Structure 1
Amino acid sequence: MVGGEVGCRLYWLSVRMTMRLLVVETWHELEVECQYWPEDPYAVLLDFGTGRTEWILSREVLTAGLVGPAGEGDVHVEPADGGRVHVALGRGERVALLSLPADGLDRFLAETRELVPPGAEPGRIDWDLCIRELLSA
């Protein structure tokens, strides 16, 4: 786990996790960096290290997917056999199926909850900045 610190307070979280990607009925291992920034408290970023492929997922959906099916649209998360969690990204013919260790995801999400407890997310958002960005678009 990597995180930036100010004094003794962690202000971001980054964890590299070995995941499996299903390609033509064969699992391939890949390293994915899971990132969490308290300034964007609802989101978890998965960086696939290609410089072009990142997915932003809901922290709440990932948490719910540890215990049962969760998600709508392009992201679905659910527990799988062997202590794993499956994450389906995309729709129809263009779906990437990832398999990751449930205990690793659970530990990562626990760390995000240490940074921003559930229910405290709105207080971490810079609403003035959001409004300025909306008005400048």
Structure 2
Amino acid sequence: MGPVTERITLYLLTPEGTAAALETEWHYRPDDPYAVRLEFGPETAGACWVLSREMLVAALSCPVGEGDIQLAPTEDGLLCLALGSRAGVVLLSTEAAPVEQFLNATAELVPFGTESERIDWDGGLAALLSA
């Protein structure tokens, strides 16, 4: 079973109140079952964030996160993302439906609650001990 990849448009919210469209790619791999990679294209110098799949699912129904990553749904079907770094916080939004469709595709690949069965615990421990 291969990875799940989806292109989703996010909107960067500017201090002036405008929104700039950013094409992003969302990646999910069965061998890294807890993580979703959110890649921003070359227009953002190849920025990439790794988000928790479980957190994204929860964010479809209620606000989640603290610190550098905060997600929240809106009443009008949007998902808001606040991503922080030393340089500041970026506010983004997108329609929740494509994110939900992406997450449903990941669940077909690796059902929720079965993620730990996909991890090579022995191989990971061996790699740590040999380092």
TM-score, normalised by the number of residues in structure 2: 0.89
Equivalent residue in structure 2 for 1:41, among 33, 41, 48: 33
Shift of 1:49: 1.5
Query: 4+ runs of 1 displaced by more than 6 Å?
Result: none
Which residue type is aligned with residue 78 of structure 1? A
Give unpaired runs (5+ residues) of structure 1.
1-9
> Which deviates the most, 34-43 or 76-85?
76-85
* Match in the other structure for 1:7: none
Task: Tell me the percent identity.
Answer: 46
Give unpaired runs (5+ residues) of structure 2.
none
TM-score, normalised by the number of residues in structure 1: 0.85
State the number of aligned residues.
Answer: 128
Equivalent residue in structure 2 for 1:80, among 74, 78, 89: 74
Shift of 1:136: 3.5
Q: Provide the secondary structure at the position in 1 that maps to 2:66.
A: coil
> Is it true that 1:32 corresponds to 2:24 in the alignment?
yes
Q: Tell me: higher relative CO, structure 1 or 2? Use CA pairs within 8 A at least 6 residues apart.
A: 2
Q: Provide the secondary structure at the position in 2 that maps to 1:67.
A: coil
Offset from partner CA, 1:31-67 (integer Å, 9 cap, x none): 0000000111110000002363100000011100000
Paired with 1:81 and 1:119, the residues of 2 have a C-alpha distance of 28
RMSD: 1.7
